[in-house]
């Protein structure tokens, strides 16, 4: 027991509660305000940056509503996310199966920094293989989408 009137688990629970609260109650106007100064990824590049705030009022309003709907449907992974942080685990390779951005299954693997590259690759390959085996055995045809490579910082 520590000298504090709370435990590490208490801190994690409170952090998860606050994180979940932010996701549960996004205000439509705040979503639109947050978008204003952010670039639109598909419209930016080659030295040109297009920001959400440059859209017409109706287009920005519609986009903000769509973002709000996505936020409304976010699964509550706050306890898991805070648990990763509290355990000093870092995000690594995302594995997803589906068609383009329409995923049917996703697995997130996390580990501590400094895990050997060969071990990391072996673990990811094992998870990918296990999921593929189950899908194949059940006759489920969900092509694997292109894997997103983890950033150098995230895997060290």
The answer to whether residue 43 is domain-embedded is yes
Q: What is the pLDDT of residue 139?
A: 85
User: Quick one: 96 and 149 in the same domain?
Assistant: yes
Report the sign of the C-alpha dihedral through residues 129, 131, 137, 141, in that order.
negative
Please identify, among 39, 72, 105, the residue that sits at the C-terminal boundary of a domain: 72
User: Quick one: 67 and 120 in the same domain?
Assistant: no
Sole residue written with tokens 């705030």? 53
Count structural domains, the chain: 2
The series of mean pLDDT values per 10 residues for the chain, 156 residues long, is: 68 74 68 85 85 88 84 78 84 71 79 86 89 86 54 37
User: Quick one: 67 and 115 in the same domain?
Assistant: no
Q: What is the pLDDT of residue 21?
A: 73
User: Quick one: 50 and 107 in the same domain?
Assistant: no
The answer to whether residue 68 is domain-embedded is yes
Report DSSP state, residue 42.
G
Question: Containing domain of residue 130, as a range?
Answer: 89-155
Please identify, among 17, 47, 72, the residue that sits at the C-terminal boundary of a domain: 72
pTM higher than the cut 0.75 = no
Q: Report the run of H or E that residue 150 belongs to, with start and end.
A: none
Give the residue from 126, 106, 120, 122 showing the smallest Cα distance to 150: 120
The answer to whether residue 2 is domain-embedded is no
What is the rounded CA–CA span in Å between residue 126 and residue 19?
A: 31
Answer yes or no: are the C-beta atoms of 20 and 81 closer than 8 Å: no
């Amino acid at each position: 027991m520590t000298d504090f009137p709370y435990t590490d688990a208490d801190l994690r629970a409170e952090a998860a509660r606050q994180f979940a609260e932010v996701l549960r109650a996004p205000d439509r106007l705040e979503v639109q305000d947050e978008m204003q100064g952010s670039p639109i990824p598909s419209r930016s590049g080659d030295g040109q940056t297009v920001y959400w705030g440059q859209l017409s009022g109706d287009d920005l309003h519609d986009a903000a509503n769509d973002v709000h709907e996505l936020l409304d449907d976010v699964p509550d992974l706050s306890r898991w996310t805070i648990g990763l942080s509290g355990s000093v685990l870092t995000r690594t390779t995302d594995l997803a199966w589906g068609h383009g951005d329409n995923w049917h299954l996703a697995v997130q693997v996390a580990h501590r920094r400094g895990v050997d590259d060969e071990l990391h690759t072996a673990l990811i390959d094992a998870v990918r293989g296990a999921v593929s085996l189950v899908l194949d055995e059940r006759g489920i045809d969900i092509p694997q989408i292109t894997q997103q490579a983890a950033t150098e910082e995230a895997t060290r």
